[in-house]
Chains A and B, each alone.
Chain A
Amino acid sequence: MSSNIIEISGLNKTFRVGGKHEPVRALDDVSVTVREGSCLAVVGESGSGKTTLARVLVGLETKDSGEVRIAGSPVTASLRRREQRRRARAVQMVFQDPNGSLNRRLPVGAAVDEVLRAHFRLSAAERRARVSELFRSVGLTDAHAQSLPANLSGGQKQRVAIARAFAAEPQVIVLDEAVSALDVSVQAQVLDLLHELRRDKGLSYLFITHDLSVVRTIADDVLVMRHGQVLERGSVGDVLDRPRSPYTKLLLECAPKPGWKPRRGVIDHLNSEIAS
């Protein structure tokens, strides 16, 4: 039991969309466990419930029923101050869009400093040292810490977001499409960084993505979701190489592979489109 850092069981979440529509079941009896120090990738199409799962896990969304435990203690979307602080120390999140998740008027170093201020009793000098240590650990310098988000590149901003997530020294980091907005070479750098940090600090990741090649690079286990339900879970090798569920097979077929060419039929279809 104690080896599972995240334990989610029987989680349900429904959204009401408009008045007349059927309520949408974003999460339908979802049970997930993440082993301590491992990385679980959650894959699925848009609307499969993977982001909702992440949001419930960090407390951005309330759950309808079910249980969420991180390191043995339950997580709630409580507004109570102590709850929030405790939750922040347990789980942090890196968002998809680094432009949105950083305050455009706050130097990025100050954004990280503020997290330290909220959680630790440190002097100004100690905090400054810690900020530059965190920045170095994600491959940035003190000069970067002084600048506003607008003066950093997308990859640098995402590194800042990662440094900020690490600042509270959480046990789990939820990465919601954290590398999807980055171009491929920067993506590889950030994935390397995440891998290194996990190894050094013994963290666990919940990695939300739709990119199967990213899954192979970083994850130990993978969870396939569709329509709010867990279709399949297992180690990366098992699921991606020997998929059992037909949906996973379809996902794998849709992913572009090396040497992939559009099939004959597709080309004919495109040609007829152009002709018309």
Chain B
Amino acid sequence: MAIKEKAPAAALAAPAAPSNRLAAARRRLGWTGMACVGVVGAVVLAAVVGQFLAPYDPTVGSVTQRHLGSSAEHLLGTDQAGRDIFSRLLAGARTSLLGPLIVVGATAVAGSALALTAVWFGGKVDAFLGRVLDVLFAFPSLLLAILAVAIFGPGLVTASIALAIAYIPYSARVIRSVALRERSLPYVKAAELQGINGFTITVRHILPNVWTQILTGSTINFGYAIVDLAALSFLGLGIQPPEADWGLMISNGQESLQQGFPEQSLYAGLCIVVTVAAMAYIGERLGGRAAAGRSKS
């Protein structure tokens, strides 16, 4: 709280030095938040270069090496096909992040666009878009995703876009309600009177004021998306084996789980939980900050 109260000098110096920026980020997020940023950073790093760091080929196993426990050779053991679990986790980071990223990105862009359009024009446009969203609401998200996959064939991108469509109404509804309040504030009226066009007002005035809601919503969606994509992969509609993916690894590990080898599902599940929790914490911190900032001004 203390930092944002009155920070004229700090606020005026727009392009801060990197060290200042780091300190500012730490103040914004707190130490826990910074740790979460570290976790997310590590996962992103794994997604980018994990394949090259992996000690074994994540897609090739050996029948003689099945269900090995942790050892110096296999850090986290091997799965039912004798593949190195640590290598698969590293390689799986990419699809596990990429899929939800597509879902979250597409949801945020389309949801905001729909919500802001509805809010700006209001009246009949708002009512019409509201009905369209209601129709989308009526479809269970997984059903919609299965339908899309049935038409366009399985795969990461198809599954992600299908999920995004299913998420749009939720995100649009939240953003609409926040944007509606912004729209009614006098500064929007003032900008209108100044002869500034609707698109500019929406993008330059309303969007920055609902941005934190979009961001917070996205971090929450990210968690859902990881889980839902895992479900699609489990149904054989998302990532195709032997490709590595955390969600797929959980479902692949189910049989081994019953046989007393929980490693694969356990570690993949842990990766998902830690990543989602870190994202959610960052989102909450940012969202809470924004709310505090608003109530003050």
A interface, CB within 8 angstroms of B: 58-60, 81, 84-85, 87-89, 92-93, 95, 97, 99-106, 114-115, 118-119, 143, 146-151, 161, 164, 167-168
Contact = CB atoms under 8 A, between A and B. Distances in A.
Given A105-B209, A106-B208, A99 B195 contact: no
A89 B193 contact: no
B195 A101 contact: no
B190 A93 contact: yes
Interface of B: 6-8, 11-12, 14, 185-187, 189-197, 200, 204-205, 208-209, 294, 296-297
17 contacts: A60-B189, A92-B194, A101-B187, A102-B190, A103-B209, A104-B294, A104-B297, A106-B205, A114-B200, A115-B194, A118-B197, A147-B11, A151-B6, A151-B11, A161-B190, A164-B190, A168-B194
A114 B196 contact: yes
A72 to B, nearest CB: 19
Contacts of B6: 151
Contacts of B195: 84-85, 87-89, 115, 118-119, 168
B288 to A, nearest CB: 17
A93 B195 CA distance: 12
A118 B8 CA distance: 29
B204 A101 contact: no
B187 A148 contact: no
A75 to B, nearest CB: 12
Contacts of B193: 58-60, 88, 92-93
Contacts of A100: 185-187
B196 A150 contact: no
Contact of B186 (A59, A95, A150, A167): A95
Contact of B208 (A105, A119, A146): A105
Which of A92, A104, A143, A146: most chain B CB closer than 10 A? A104
A104 B186 CA distance: 11
A85 B11 CA distance: 33
A115 B190 CA distance: 11
B179 to A, nearest CB: 14
B205 to A, nearest CB: 5
Contacts of A99: 297
Given A147-B8, A147-B11, A102 B196 contact: no
